[in-house]
Amino acid sequence: MLKLQSIKKLQETGFIRVPHTRIQAAFTFLTYKVKLSREITN
């Protein structure tokens, strides 16, 4: 989550210009990973 927030900050300041679809794909992948790890711990 920290990485995602820092990336968002960089994008807002204009340091990073990434296509929206790429950001969405990375975000969905991260949320999927988190869900998976939660299921494993539970």
User: What total number of domains does the chain contain?
Assistant: 1
Q: What is the pLDDT of residue 1?
A: 56
Q: What is the pLDDT of residue 25?
A: 81
Distances (CA, A) of 37 to 2, 3, 11, 27, 28: 17, 17, 27, 15, 14
- The string of pLDDT tens digits covering residues 13-22 is 665 565 667 7
Burial 3-15 (b: 16+ CB within 10 A, else e): eeeebeeeeeeee
Residue with tokens 């988190």: 34
- The string of pLDDT tens digits covering residues 1-37 is 567 777 777 667 665 565 667 777 888 888 888 888 8
Distance CA 15, CA 31 (A): 24
Count Cβ atoms below 10 Å from residue 26 Cβ, excluding itself.
Answer: 14
Q: Can you give the residue range of the structural domain that contains 7?
A: 2-41
Whether residue 38 is predicted with pLDDT greater than 80 in this model: the reply is yes
